[in-house]
Chain A
Amino acid sequence: MRRLTLIAAALALFSGTAAAQSDYPTRPITVIVPFTAGGPTDTVARLVAEPMTRALGQQVIIENVGGAGGTLGARRVATADPDGYTLLLHHIGQATSASLYRKLSYSPAKDFAGIGLITDVPMTIISRADFPATSIKELIETIKTKKQDITLANAGVGAVSHLCGMLLQSALGVQVTTVPYKGTGPAMTDILGSQVDILCDQTTNTTGHIGTGKVKAFAVTTKERLKTLPNLPTMDESGVKGFEVVAWHGLYAPKGTPKPIVDKLAAALQGALKDEKVIARLADLGAEPVSQEAATPAALDKYLADEIAKWKPVIESAGVYAD
């Protein structure tokens, strides 16, 4: 009798969770953005949250949990209940934090279930307006001959501009003088004021200044040329084979989130990436939504693993850590 009750209870419990899964979502979903409100990652999150809210029939709320290069917010999701009500929207930092932080209390590779990639923000290599080089070939020549006399700005340890700078140095096999700033804004101010030579940063930050001629642009860091900056060659076609850095964004659930829920979220994300308004707003930022095939759990899981593997040797050989 007692055993029967137990089985009945177990069955009831099981059907309960099954019902919960098919009903999902029954309450608002929180997407944690591990950066302050108003930044580029926050913008991406708020853009996709709106069409996802419509598709899921529940409010998708953005919560900004900034600090420590995005690891505070990511940690909160890594340890959250895997019920599909707490998600993480993170950028390339999700992959690089695995190597940049040696004392991380969670694992970016193991503690998350990918939902899908969202967008790639391309990057550009620019210099101060009065820098002597006129083409990417000349720029590479100059860097190789002047080495430490070249100053390379970045937006701080772990920033995409820092990653791009590290990759550039390792690809060219030279060490230049790296000048860190707190954020892209001040770094850009010093490029405009001709205090530093080079900066590699997202189109979001650079396209405007390239347009007005206040900075010199040399190349884009994507595999293919951009529609918005068609005159800029890729690094790959300029002789630096395989050079690619993009500030990509992905949506994650905690590991252990039931597959039906993850799939439902992925479908909502795919729908959001087809939304006209999302496409238009991303274009304003110099970015595009990823293809429908990339906005899937499998694609993100694989991409994350690839990116972790790609950046590990670059970061370790540079010997720069964020903790």
Chain B
Amino acid sequence: MSKQEQHWEKTRNLLFITLAIWFVFSIGIFLFGAEMQESNIRPFGYPLTYWFTCQGSLAIFVILIFWFAGRQEKIDDEFGFSEREGDK
């Protein structure tokens, strides 16, 4: 496998992990909205589903993007595909 193919395979795997986490917090948990609302887990005292819609999912997305960016930069560095000065 060429260097570029390996790079793309890792990139694609990172995409799948990122999208899986994204799926859980944007779609997955809301399949069980009513059940979660009754749960005893109450972040800051808010009902669980309500908290996810107000803050939880939103904050997780912010963190997820920064995490994803960091991981992708590592992959690019590993294969020497990061941008250098003068690339325009």
Q: Do chains A and B interact in one complex?
A: no
Which residues on A are within 8 Å of B, measured CB to CB?
none
